[in-house]
Structure 1
Amino acid sequence: MNNKTLLRLIAVLFWIPAISACGFTPVYGPNSQIEQQFSGITVQEPANRNEYLFVQNLETHIGRASAPDKMLQYTLYVYEQSMLQGYRAHLVGKVDYKVISMSDQTVLYGGSAENFTAYNIPAETLESLKNDAYSRLMQILADLVYRDLIVKNAAYADAS
């Protein structure tokens, strides 16, 4: 190890405690502002497999509220489009959502997210490929809704 590399290593080791002592907290970590802003939101119960996957993926981001005062209600639309003369299928999904106050049922904010995924159509493994495509689509939609919720919930908190 040459002197230049050794000096860099010493500098990094010196600055690590200084950086951690500055009050820095992770944006998405435990007790972060993001976690706290979703602590009062519960998600509408799922009615089918797609909704279950969507809610499960969304709750990995926002958690489960112990004392909810708001509810995220959603409507999920999914449809298939055959592409490339029957060899490939697109699975298109859209979710419309709104966050309502549980005390007076007023809509606080809402939005929508839309995306797609695709799968090949071989006859021998169609069902497992289709299920995997649905799972991927629900993950994508939950991620999009979560990103939208971060922005809209922060704007709502600033306005109130």
Structure 2
Amino acid sequence: MSSYSRRLLLGTGLALLAGCGFAPAYAPGGAGAALIGQVEVSEPETRAGYLLTRELEGRLGRATAARYELRPAISLSTKAISIDRSNVASRFNMLGRVEYALVDRETGLTVTTGSVDSFTAFSATGTPVATQAAERDAEVRLMTILADQLVTRLVATVPDAAR
């Protein structure tokens, strides 16, 4: 395919997206931009809560005069997925779920609710210290994944009034 054909194909695709109302979420006036600095996450009570809050604030900014409050409830569990010949678990899945509510601080009404879930794995081979470090690292990765999903859901369901 020639360079001209590629540019023509790309230009046609972009024109079609623009024609259907596609707009980048974080462009000025986009749904994602409307949430930047407008969402305060409830104070975390656990390490996982702190990690999730840190990731969310990294994506949405730290709110100073927030319009919304995000109330996440995190549940984590760990399940053995690999057991060796001596009946010792050597690999684990860490499962995570965040149920959330986005509340309008002015009216006190719940704007949206939902949940996101995912998993990550870690190895338990080596010393107990190495296993604990691997588990803590898996928790960081899992909270990053869940924060990404949560922000995507919030951007998709942002109220029209905030746009």
TM-score normalised by length of structure 2 = 0.74
What is the RMSD computed on CA atoms of the aligned residues? 2.5
SS of structure 2 residue aligned to 1:46: coil
- Residue matched to 1:43: 41
Tell me how many residue pairs correspond in the alignment: 137
- Give the structure 2 partner of residue 114 of structure 1: 117
- Looking at structure 2, the residues matched to 159 and 136 of structure 1 have their Cα atoms a distance apart, in angstroms, of 30
What is the one-letter code of the residue matched to 2:97? Answer: K
The alignment status of 1:144 with 2:142, answered yes or no, reads no
The answer to whether the aligner puts 1:84 opposite 2:82 as a matched pair is: yes
- Give the fraction of aligned pairs with identical amino acids, expressed as a percent: 26
Amino acid across the alignment from 1:68: A
Q: What is the Cα deviation at residue 138 of structure 1?
A: 0.5
Q: CA deviation at 1:122?
A: 1.1
Give, in angstroms, the shift of residue 28 of structure 1. Answer: 3.1
Q: List per-residue Cα deviations over 1:112-153 (Å, max 9, x = no partner).
A: 100000011114111111110000000000000011111011
Bigger fraction of residues in helix? 1
Aligned pairs for 1:18-37 (under 5 A) are 27-28=25-26, 33=30, 34-37=32-35
Q: 5+ unaligned residues in a row in structure 1: which ranges?
A: 9-24
Asked if the contact 1:26–1:32 (Cα under 8 Å) also holds between the matched residues in 2, the reply is no
> For structure 1, which segment, 128-137 or 31-40, has the greater mean C-alpha deviation from structure 2 after superposition?
31-40
Alignment correspondent of 1:129 = 134
Other-structure match for 2:160 = 157
Distance 1:27 1:159, change over 3 A: closer
Counterparts of 1:109 and 1:135 in 2: how far apart (Å)? 26
SS at match of 2:52: helix
Q: Unmatched 5+ residue regions in structure 2?
A: 5-22, 84-88
Separation in structure 2 between the aligned mates of residue 135 and residue 106 of structure 1, nearest angstrom:
31
Residues 101, 159 of structure 1: CA spacing in aligned structure 2 closer, same or farther, 3 A cutoff? closer
Q: Which amino acid aligns with 2:160?
A: A
- Aligned-partner residue type, residue 79 of structure 2: Q
4+ residue runs of structure 1 moved beyond 4 angstroms? none
Aligned twin of 1:16: none
3-state SS of 1:105 partner: coil
